[in-house]
Amino acid sequence: MISAPQLLTDPFLQLPTETSVRVVWFTEFVGDKHLVIYGKKLDKSAIAKTTKLSRTREDQQSRVANQTENGQIYQKPVKREIWRHEAEVTGLVANVRIPYQVTSIREDGASVSSEIFTLAPTPKPGTPLKILLTSDHQLKPMTAANLQKVVETVGNVDGVWFAGDLVNVPDRASEWFDDNRGNALFPGLQGRANYQMGNNGVKVTYTGGKIIQNAPMFTCIGNHEVMGRFARTASLGDEFNDTIPREVAQKLLWGNNTKK
């Protein structure tokens, strides 16, 4: 029996303008149709453009599904098929939030929809805003707890400024989506984390916060978003560390004149 379709992430917001905003989400099936339903009565729709990710993989150091130790399932990098869906919601009014949800329809006609969230375009100049400035999540132990406290203390934010280093090894898909330790990037920023911490015998599970479903995220590229040389067979970590030697990079940039 074929299982029901699932979204790999909740939707999140990108690239707002004065009258529009982009809605993005991921699935592990290409699907027949993906769309955003929006408006006060959820009576409008926008069709998403779908792109297959080209470098997402898992390897012997992944912590995904039933692999809890190195090499239990994967002995080398293995391709993981993931699709990105992006739709532009237009005709918006500054400082006015409206509800939206996304729906993905699989090739067999089965569908899955997200919860209902809210979106808005770029606010009017001079509007007071609550901005979350964050960086270096990298599956660190306190990340889910800190994001949960943002929502508990500040409430909804209006935007997220992410100053790089979202994950550790960028081609390792589970670091973005579903690391089995419960603290991958998107779950933390979307209130779907499941990370347990203990102190003096007391264990607490943190879920992160529902943040980027309702607020656009602007990210900088850190060194941990850039892989090294592709197609090595050892591990994704080895690929990440296999950068182009400095003198080779200088020649590519400046030719033989490396004194510039």
Residue corresponding to tokens 């270096």: 136
CB neighbour burial string for 49-67, b if at least 16 within 10 angstroms, e if fewer? ebeebeebbbbbbbbbeeb
Provide the 3-class DSSP secondary structure of residue 57.
strand
Q: Place 260 in a pLDDT band, splitting at 50, 70 and 90.
A: low
CA gap 74, 76 in Å, rounded? 6
Report the alpha-carbon distance of residue 190 to residue 176 in Å, rounded.
12
Domain ranges of the chain: 7-255
Q: Does 2.60.40.10 match the CATH number of domain 7-255?
A: yes
What would the two tokens of residue 260 be? 């510039």
Residue with tokens 């993906």: 34
Q: What is the pLDDT of residue 132?
A: 98
Q: What percent of the chain has pLDDT over 90?
A: 87
- Flag the least confident range among 5-9, 79-83, 196-200: 196-200
**Closest Cα to residue 92, out of 118, 68, 56, 127?**
118
The pLDDT tens digits of the residues spanning 188-247 come to 999 999 999 988 889 999 999 999 999 999 999 999 999 988 877 789 999 998 888 888
The CA-to-CA distance between both ends of the chain, in Å, stands at 64
Distance, CA of 99 to CA of 111 (rounded, Å)? 20
- Locate tokens 């991958």: which residue? 184
At residue 74, does pLDDT exceed 60? yes
Four-CA torsion 104, 109, 110, 113, nearest 10 degrees:
30
Q: Given the DSSP bridges, would you call strands 117-119 and 98-105 parallel, antiparallel or unpaired?
A: antiparallel
What DSSP assignment string belongs to 84-96?
EEEEEE-S--TT-
Q: Which of 145, 139, 140, 154 is nearest to 204 (CA)?
A: 145
Q: Give residue 257's pLDDT band: very low, low, confident or very high (50, 70, 90).
A: low
Inter-residue contact 69 to 60 (CB < 8 Å)? no
pLDDT digits (tens, 9 = 90+) for 19-69: 999 999 999 999 999 999 999 999 999 999 999 999 999 999 999 999 999
For residue 214, what is the enclosing H or E element?
A: none
Burial profile 160-193: b = 16 or more Cβ within 10 angstroms, e = fewer: bebeebbbbbbbbbbbbbbbeebbbbbbbbbbbb
